């Protein structure tokens, strides 16, 4: 299994709206692609949250090929929509993890 991790620092002024948007629009859109079997949302603790919270959203794909297909077919448009909606009020980085156990 492969985990696609998106970690995002969210400015305080949009925190509640951004989290609601993730839960009601962005995550359902990503899951609707059919390339991921599950997801989890985390809020990072022990971080400097003076400018906002940091969240990690992890999507589980059964195979690396599923993840790769998502990245080719769907990721560019969904990432662009997020950028257009939130601009520089968020900053994200992505990582891919292989599940060992």
pLDDT band for position 38 (cuts 50, 70, 90): very high
Reported as a single tens digit per residue, the pLDDT across 48-68 is: 878 899 999 999 999 999 999
Residue 17 has pLDDT above 90, yes or no: yes
Where do the domains of the chain lie, and which CATH numbers do they carry? 2-98 (3.30.70.100)
| Phi and psi torsions of 70, nearest 5° | -60, -45
What is the tens place of the pLDDT at every residue in 68-96?
999 999 999 999 999 999 999 999 999 99
Spatial CA neighbour of 33 closest among 71, 6, 4, 82: 71
Work out the number of other CB atoms within 10 angstroms of the CB of residue 49.
15
Q: Which pLDDT does position 88 carry in this prediction?
A: 94
* pLDDT of amino acid 19: 98
The answer to whether residue 47 scores a pLDDT higher than 90 is no
């Amino acid at each position: 299994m492969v985990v696609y991790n998106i970690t995002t620092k969210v400015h305080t002024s949009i925190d509640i709206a951004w989290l609601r948007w993730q839960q009601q629009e962005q995550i359902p859109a990503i899951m609707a692609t059919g390339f991921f079997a599950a997801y989890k949302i985390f809020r990072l603790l022990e971080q400097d949250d003076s400018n906002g919270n940091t969240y990690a959203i992890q999507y589980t794909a059964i195979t690396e090929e599923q993840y790769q297909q998502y990245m080719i077919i769907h990721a560019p448009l969904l990432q662009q929509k997020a950028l257009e909606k939130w601009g520089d009020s968020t900053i994200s980085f992505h990582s891919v993890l292989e599940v060992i156990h």
